[in-house]
A = this chain, B = another copy of it.
């Protein structure tokens, strides 16, 4: 009984609202909290496939733009070139992607998915679509398209 009462007291204290001050309306803070939640869902969903968000982005862009250089992929996704090179190393080791030396510029590498990589990405897109449906439910009531457009404008600012 004593334990139950103490637990209740602790719960009551815990539920007292915390004042976030200027954070409560800070776009930066809110975008960060949304991103952390989304990444947690992503990690759970993609855990079995052993894929991190940045790897998923890279695989998707290679699939849709076969032959692209590492520099252009890094630019398009806002990833540091050195991080991308390490990532491509890993994707090559796993047999998912392949670097080919281009005829025009022997210092540059053209990136392609292997057939295994292609089948893998198709499977990942199905998982991602499920995640997007869940996020879409959280967005219910607000204008999905306007929300995405606002995010694009912030990213480009």
| A interface, CB within 8 angstroms of B | 14, 18-23, 25-39, 41-42, 53, 57, 60-61, 63-65, 68, 72-73, 75-76, 78, 125, 128-129, 131-132, 134-139, 142-143, 146-157
Contacts and interface: CB of A to CB of B under 8 A. Distances in A.
B21 A64 contact: yes
Contacts of A32: 35, 38-39, 53
Contact of A31 (B26, B134, B151): B151
B131 A61 contact: no
Shortest 3 CB-CB contacts between residues of A and residues of B: A33-B155, A30-B151, A21-B64
Contacts of A138: 150, 153-154, 156-157
B139 A154 contact: yes
Nearest to A148: B30
29 contacts: A14-B72, A18-B65, A18-B76, A19-B61, A21-B64, A22-B129, A23-B60, A26-B132, A27-B38, A27-B136, A27-B147, A27-B148, A28-B135, A29-B57, A30-B148, A30-B155, A31-B34, A33-B78, A36-B155, A37-B155, A135-B154, A135-B157, A137-B157, A138-B154, A139-B150, A139-B154, A142-B150, A142-B153, A147-B150
